[in-house]
Structure formats: C-alpha cells, structure tokens
Amino acid sequence: MKKRYFSLGLAAMLALAGCGSSQNSTGTPLYKAGSYTGTGAGKNGDVQVTVEFTDDAIKSVTIGDNSETEAIAKPAFDQIPQEIVDAQSTQVDVISGATLTSNAIIAAVNDCIVQAGGTVPTAAAEKTTAAKEEKSEATDVLVIGGGMAGMSAALAAKDAGADVTLLEAAGDLGGTVKVAGGYLICVDSELYKDSGADQSLASMEKAWKDHMSYSGADSGYPDWDRLDLVLSKTGETIDWLAEKGVRWDEAPFTAFDGGTYVCAHDVDNGPGLVSDLADALDTAGVKVELNTKATELTTSEDGAVTGAVSETKDAVITYSAKAVILATGGYANDPELLAKYAPKLAAVKTVSGAAATATGDGFRMAEKVGADFFEDGTGFGSLWATQVEPSALEKDRDLAGVDVSKALLVDGSGKRFAAEVPTVPYMDALASDMIQNGNGPFYFVFDSKDADAAAILEAGTDLNAVKSGETVEDLAAAIGVDKTVLSDTILHYNDLCKAGEDTDYGKAAEYLSPLETGPYYALEYVPTTFGSTGGVKTDDQQHVLKADGSPIKGLYAAGEMSNRYFYNENYMLGGSLGLYSTCGRIAGTTAAAE
C-alpha cells in the first residue's frame, strides 16, 4: 500500500530572508520557478518528492508516494524536508535509524533541482570548517538509548526522584520497539489476575524450557536463576507500565504457543507502546534529547563512570552524571561485532529486523571502560514469512501464503538438516537450526500435487524468489546443487513419509507428504533476526561488571546490552520486551538510589 506524507516548507520565507547563500550575486535565477517531482530509492522502493522552487529558493519539499515503513521512516519524513528548506541545500545530515529514507528524500530533491535547472550542492562546495559548539550539562541519571530498556530505566529513575536525561541517537524514540509486535511476557500481573489465564512462573518456565530444548540445550544457557528472577517481576512491570499509561489489551494474549504462556499486548502494537512510553516520559519530566548520539563514557581516575560525551548535528555535549545506564540495544546491524560475537550468524544470509541503530555503540563504549563481555552471543532468529532479499520483502510477501509445513527443507548442499514444522516454537528453532547449520542458501522444496500452492509458486518464479524444474534433476541445476545429492535426499525423505515416521528429525506424521509430482519448486528461505544476544555481564541490580566480577562504579546496562542470561540459541516469541523493561526498571531504580 502506497502512503503519502506531507511536510510543508514553513520556514521557507525565513530561510529566504536569512540565507544569503541562496541568492545569486549575478542576478541570474538559481532555478526555473515551479513545481517539480523527483524520486529517490528508499528502503522499500522509490520515494516520490515534490519540490516547489522560486527563482532563487527551495520553497517547499513535500513527500509523495512511497512504500517506506511508517514507524521507521517517520522522523526522516518529518525532519529532512524542513532541514533542506532551512539550509536551502540538500547537504543536510541524515536521520540515524532512517538513513535509507533520508537519502531517498535527498536524492529526490536533487533530482528536482536538476529538473529546475539548478546546481546540486556538493559536500566539497559546502564543507564548513566551523567546529561544533562544545557544551556541558549535568544530570543525576543519564540513560543512553531510548528503546524498551532505556525508556523503562528513565521512568524508574524518575520515579525514584532523580533528575533524568535520556539521549537517543535516532530522530525519534523506540528503537526496535517501533517495529515490534508489542507483546510482553507476563508473570503474575494484577491486570490479568482474574482472567483465568495461567500466569504462574512455573508455567512460563515450562514454556521457556520447551522452546530452549530445540537446539543448544547443552550450551549452558539460559541462566535459570537469573531468568526466573527477572521473569517473576514481569507482571509487576506490566502493572507499573499500565500506571504509566500503557494501553494494554483487556484480555491477556495466549495464542503464541497454544496457550502455554501469557503476554500483555499494547492495543496499538510496538508503535503504540512507543507512543505510550514517550507520553509517559513527557509527563514524568524526563529530559529527552533526540538526534543525540553518545560516543564515549567519561571516567574518574579510579575508573568510575562519571558521564558521557555526545554529539548532535552542531554540538558536542559532555554530560556529567552520578549514574549512566547503557540501553543502546544490540549489534544485529554491525558486521564487525556480529563476526566477533556471533560468527555463525554473520556467516549466513539473514534479514535483520532490528532498528538500523542496533550497531553496538554501547558495546564499544563499555569495552573502553573495562566491562566484561559474553563472548558467545547469537542472533535470535525466527522464520518470518518468505524472504529472499531485504529489498524484495514487499513483493515476496505474496509468497507468504504458501504453507511450508509439508515441504522439505534442504541446505545449500541439497541435504536435509532439521524437521520443517513451522509451529511457533519451531519457527524460532528452525531459524536457529539454519544459522547453526551455516550451509545456506536454504530452500523449501515442493512438488505440484497441491495445485493452489503450485500456482502461487509458479507466479513466484517471475519474482526470482522461486526456482523450478520439471524434474528433481532440473531443480537441482536451477538451485546449483548436486543432482544426485538432491535426488537422494528426496528419495530418502519420501521413504520416511511413506513409512509415516521421521526417524531422522522427528517431524510429526501429519506433515509427512512425499514429493513425487513434477514440476518441482524451491523457495529460498532466509531467517529473520529479531535482535542479538550477548552483551556485558551484569549483576542482579544491573551493575556492569569487570572481569574480576566487581561492578564498574556508576555504570548500569539493560536490554540487548546485557541479555545472554535469558536464551540459548533459540528465541521465544514475545520473549524480550517484558524482560528488558523489567531490567531497565531495576537499573533505573538502582541507579537513582546509589
């Protein structure tokens, strides 16, 4: 669905009055006055922009048709047009977290400038040598990162009476929560106490154990003591968030895994949760600084953390603080840290759903002040519709209707390596199996006995998301695997199907269906990662620890900054936000008190 946003160039007249550089000293018009429409390539396709020019100025920039994801693109749509008008130039800073959309708008305006006979500004021509202004600020508790953990930490610290400042690198709050479903696991809340749903810790723990049993059961994770400690407080967190104004669904959500665990859910999903929490921060009087990226922590001679240095477009601001809480999320979008902490994930083609700002900034800051890290991270993944290329997400959604439960999954060598049933726990585990297997690309193989599915797959061949072959050998050639290996895999799988028992991987009999009717199709599947695991080691109160186990004075962490305790290689849908909000709440309360 195409969306349309409007952004008016309200400051155009001011800019005209104040910006001498837009006037042409020779008297020749800078532009052919009029309205021009251009396009730039965004994250999900072209972004159309209309620019109105006078003879010597960019008067307004209006965003037109586009397919960008609203929750992510909004700060770019809200801010970049105005900045271009204010600067009378496209040499403006992109918005962190919405870089692709920012660049699309800039490219589209440049397109319009060319159409209007103007000169596209270049960095070299506009390079300013002016140093950024240096400023100092003071606060009691400085929270770095405005996702679930950071917003919760800031609210808790404020509740405890501290003066709180929250720095957010992106143009708006929310981080990955902006795209999240908004489900928070919930144990023993008051909210749902009369609902009849089983909110007990025992039931949640049983569901968690079940999910963690699929792969990596011997990895030593989760840390059950730590997990139980945090899980047992998630209901309190839900009630506390309700007091702060979060609008939970009236009934608990129990559909993830056949009702084995309970979640609270914001009535407007992840974006609703962000706006509820943003309102709560505002009401509480937390000072929120957007477009402000923390770059390093400051320390005293004895190694205690005393604040942080941050940068905005035109200033370097050093904050002194009694306590600093790192809540910058994970490293899912940072190739260097992925290779270091989650090499198996780095080696496989995945689609990251995490916020673009999940680049491990907090990891780098914490490392420099001596924090101890989990060395064995992993990305938590899930199979999520049909995904081939991130850029093809929208069009490949047409293929999401294909039921893969009766298909055969093979790796890049044409071999089967896991049971394929896409039930909720197994959707997570199957992604984990793919990452652990490492031998991508991964294909679901279908035959044509289900005519409806075959028709969808046939259409998918036009999108290049599906490969086909009249025979198994043809299909092997199309996907570039050895034809004998693929045909042996299929013959063996068919034998298991006919015997009615998957003695290799335990796929339930109801999903066993032999592949015998050509043409054959192979649908590439790419695991989606929801975030990363690993981070700094923390104690129960969320103090960041050194290698000797002692706390770094003044430093706390929560969220994906410190979450290895909770998972092995598997994820559990809805299994982050409730934990991270609780850890943020603990960090905020402790930081304010110490």
Region near ligand FAD per CB under 6 A, out of 4-12, 33-41, 68-76, 177-185: 177-185
What secondary structure letter does DSSP report for 138? E
What's the token pair of residue 240?
Answer: 């506390």
User: Minimum distance from CB of 266 to ligand FAD (Å)?
Assistant: 9
Site string for ligand FAD, 304-333 (x = CB under 6 A): -----------------------xxx----
446 near 479, Cβ under 8 Å? no
Binding to ligand FAD by residue 150, rule CB under 6 A?
yes
Binding to ligand FAD by residue 531, rule CB under 6 A?
yes
Region near ligand FAD per CB under 6 A, out of 172-180, 198-206, 434-442, 494-502: 172-180
Binding to ligand FAD by residue 281, rule CB under 6 A?
no
Distance CA 295, CA 134 (A): 14
Longest Cα–Cα distance of the chain, Å, equals 87
Region near ligand FAD per CB under 6 A, out of 162-170, 447-455, 492-500, 542-550: 162-170
What's the token pair of residue 79?
Answer: 């801010």
Binding to ligand FAD by residue 181, rule CB under 6 A?
yes
Region near ligand FAD per CB under 6 A, out of 210-218, 441-449, 493-501, 574-582: 574-582
The residue with tokens 């620890």 is 545
Contact partners, residue 64, CB within 8 Å, separation at least 6? 4, 37, 47, 48, 49, 50
- Please give the distance of CA 65 from its chain centroid, rounded to a whole number: 24
Which has the closest alpha carbon to 566: 436, 435, 558, 263?
558
User: Minimum distance from CB of 462 to ligand FAD (Å)?
Assistant: 27
Residue placing its CB nearer to ligand FAD in the complex, 460 or 574: 574
Burial class (CB within 10 angstroms; exposed 0-12, middle 13-18, buried 19+) of 311: middle
Residue placing its CB nearer to ligand FAD in the complex, 531 or 534: 531
Helices (H), 88-196: 99-115, 123-126, 148-159
Distance CA 52, CA 37 (A): 9
Distance CA 360, CA 338 (A): 9
Contact partners, residue 466, CB within 8 Å, separation at least 6? 399, 457, 458, 460, 521, 522, 523, 524
Binding to ligand FAD by residue 149, rule CB under 6 A?
yes
Among residues 87, 95, 238, 354, the one that binds ligand FAD under rule CB under 6 A:
354
Binding to ligand FAD by residue 372, rule CB under 6 A?
no
Binding to ligand FAD by residue 222, rule CB under 6 A?
no
What's the token pair of residue 425?
Answer: 């726990």
Region near ligand FAD per CB under 6 A, out of 4-12, 144-152, 191-199, 585-593: 144-152
Binding to ligand FAD by residue 144, rule CB under 6 A?
yes
User: How many C-beta atoms surround the C-beta of residue 128 within 10 A?
Assistant: 8
Among residues 146, 171, 271, 527, the one that binds ligand FAD under rule CB under 6 A:
146
Binding to ligand FAD by residue 575, rule CB under 6 A?
yes
Q: Which of residues 284-303 bind ligand FAD (CB under 6 A)?
A: 293-294
DSSP lists the bridge partners of residue 128 as none
Region near ligand FAD per CB under 6 A, out of 142-150, 367-375, 401-409, 452-460: 142-150
Residue placing its CB nearer to ligand FAD in the complex, 142 or 408: 142
Binding to ligand FAD by residue 441, rule CB under 6 A?
no
In sequence order, what E strands does 183-341 have? 183-185, 263-265, 287-289, 293-299, 305-311, 315-326
What's the token pair of residue 396?
Answer: 């490949």
User: Minimum distance from CB of 150 to ligand FAD (Å)?
Assistant: 6
Instruction: Write out the residues near ligand FAD by the rule CB under 6 A.
Output: 97, 144-150, 167-170, 174-177, 179-184, 293-294, 327-329, 353-355, 357-358, 361, 530-531, 559-560, 574-577, 580
